[in-house]
Structures are given as C-alpha cells and as structure tokens.
Amino acid sequence: MLFSEEDKHLIKVLREEKQYTAGQVLKEFRNRNWTLGGLKHLLQKVDKFGSVDRSAGSGRPRSARTVENVDTVDLVQSQEDQPHSHLTVTQISHELEIPISCVHNVIKQDLKLKGLKRKCAQELTEANLLLLLVCVSFTIIGQPRNSVLIRRV
C-alpha cells in the first residue's frame, strides 16, 4: 500500500489521461506490492480533489504550541524582574489553561530549558553530621581518624 511520490503522480496521470481503473493499474504494475484497496483509495482522492498530495489543514491541529503560547509561557516563566519566584509546570498550565504536557514541550523544545521540580534538601542534625564524618573517614582512609566518633555513634 505504500506509494512513493513518483508512484502517486504516475497513478494520477494514468487516471486523468487514460481513465485507468484500480484493477487496470494493478495489472499494469504487477511487480509492485500495491493493494487493490490502496489503489481505490488513491484514485478516489484523485477524483475528488484532483491531487494526490495531502490536503491543507488535514490532520490534528497543533493548537497548544503556537507562537503566542510559546511567548506567554516564556513571559510567565521568566524571572528577570523577580528572582526566586518561578512557577512549576503545573502552575503555568493552570494559569494559562494549556495542558501540562504542552507546557512541558514548550519549555523543553521551544525555549530549550529544563523544567525542574523543587525538592527540599536534607537537614543535617548532630547525629547525621557525626555519621557523615565517620563514613567519609572510612572511605578516604579506610579507618576512622578518631575512634571517639565511633563510640559516640
């Protein structure tokens, strides 16, 4: 069923000039792996539109990644005048009423940025700090520098 561009234009010329049917085209080009249904579909397209090319506007519209939406996402996420006031992808999505996946694609593909999640860092307590020192001394030297630290832990 796969037709190359040359095949499509050849079939179009045969249909328009010699009024070939799908069966006649299939008999003429037996060595091709064309199906009768595929040829019928292509000939219906030639009869209806006069062309084998894809019609303009066919397919799913790309409404979320328009230039206007890219500009508004860029304005919303920019922090030049207000540092440390960034919004998450979800917050931008709710504010602009655009799907989260589209906001993520705009940030990643159009603006060439990375959307990151804010996470809290681990707070070091006395116990964590002592354990960290012991682990570091084990990995660097192979034995702890101060055996007192091990006894306290």
pLDDT per residue as tens digits for the range 95-131: 888 888 888 888 888 888 876 666 777 777 887 888 8
* Residue 34 neighbours by CB distance under 10 Å: 19
pTM surpassing 0.85?
no
Residues 12 and 44 in one domain: yes
Residues 43 and 76 in one domain: no
Confirm whether 61 is domain-assigned: no
**Structure confidence by residue, pLDDT tens digits, 12-52:** 999 999 999 999 999 999 898 899 999 999 999 999 988 88
9 shares its domain with 42:
yes
* Domain enclosing residue 100, as ranges: 67-110
* Torsion angles phi and psi, residue 143, rounded to 5: -145, 155
Tell me the torsion sign for CA atoms 128, 129, 130, 136: positive
Domain count, the chain: 3
User: In 31-124, which ranges are E strands?
Assistant: none
CB 108 within 8 A of CB 77: no
106 and 132 in a single domain? The answer is no
Residue-wise DSSP of 12-48: HHHHHHH---HHHHHHHTTTS---HHHHHHHHHHHHH
Tokens of 72: 């508004």
Q: Are residues 43 and 15 in the same domain?
A: yes
In a domain, residue 37? The reply is yes
Q: Are 35 and 66 in contact (CB under 8 A)?
A: no
- pLDDT confidence bin for 153, thresholds 50/70/90: very low
Residue 62: inside a domain: no
* Mean pLDDT of all residues in 70-76: 85
Is 57 within a domain?
no
Q: Cα(first)–Cα(last) distance of the chain, in Å?
A: 73
Check whether residue 106 and residue 138 sit in a common domain: no
Give the confidence band of 147 by pLDDT, cuts at 50, 70, 90: low
* pLDDT (0 to 100) of residue 9: 92
Determine, yes or no, domain membership for 18: yes
Distance CA 91, CA 56 (A): 35
Q: Do 20 and 45 sit in the same domain of this protein?
A: yes
Q: Indicate if 9 and 43 belong to the same structural domain.
A: yes
Q: Is residue 31 part of a domain?
A: yes
What distance in Å separates the CA atoms of residue 127 and residue 133, rounded to the nearest whole number? Answer: 10
Whether 91 maps to a domain, the answer reads yes
Task: Give the Cα separation of 112 and 64 in Å (integer).
Answer: 17
104 and 133 both lie in a single domain? no
